[in-house]
Amino acid sequence: MGLFTKDIKTMDDLFLHVLQDTYYAEEQILKALPNMVQKATNRDLTAAFKSHLEETERHVQRLEQAFELIGESPKGTACPAIDGIIKEAKEIAGDVAEKKVLDAALIIAAQAVEHYEISRYGTLIAWAEQTGKDAVAKLLATTLTEEKAADKKLTTIAQRKVNQKAAR
């Protein structure tokens, strides 16, 4: 079922599709984060990536609970958007030879992921509320709060240390 196919007929179909898309995205992020932890040289950035890896495991669990609440089995659907963001992150990280600049590149890649997730969770919450899935909305709101906090933490690390160091 693709986003712009005739398989999606109702708001519930659309909600399920985007939930599956988000589940796939979180699984791909789980696979990518250990590499980012390994590549980061800034201590705060490494800690942030490790922390977010643990949070992402909880995000997947919450999504699985959301599927259960709507009577569906957890299942992902390919998400070209997150695949592209992760591919770009790998390419950028592979192209940067200077370690202090690499941390800045990792931050921008991570923030691209966070912004994607924030948009998905925000939309899913709005749709869940609109269609009476209040328990799902509440569950996803916890994840949205964590995604926004992760983005803010990355901005702080970039502004306080990483960007200055990279610019020298």
In this structure, whether the domain defined by 11-167 belongs to CATH 3.40.50.10420 is answered with no
- The answer to whether the pTM exceeds 0.85 is yes
Domain ranges of the chain: 11-167
Could you read off the pLDDT tens digit of each residue along the chain, which spans 168 residues?
A: 454 556 889 999 999 999 999 999 999 999 999 999 999 999 999 999 999 999 999 999 999 999 999 999 999 999 999 999 999 988 887 878 888 899 999 999 999 999 999 999 999 999 999 999 999 999 999 999 999 999 999 999 999 999 999 898
How far is Cα 95 from Cα 106, in angstroms, rounded to an integer? 11
Cβ–Cβ under 8 Å, residues 49 and 40: yes
Residue with tokens 């926004």: 148
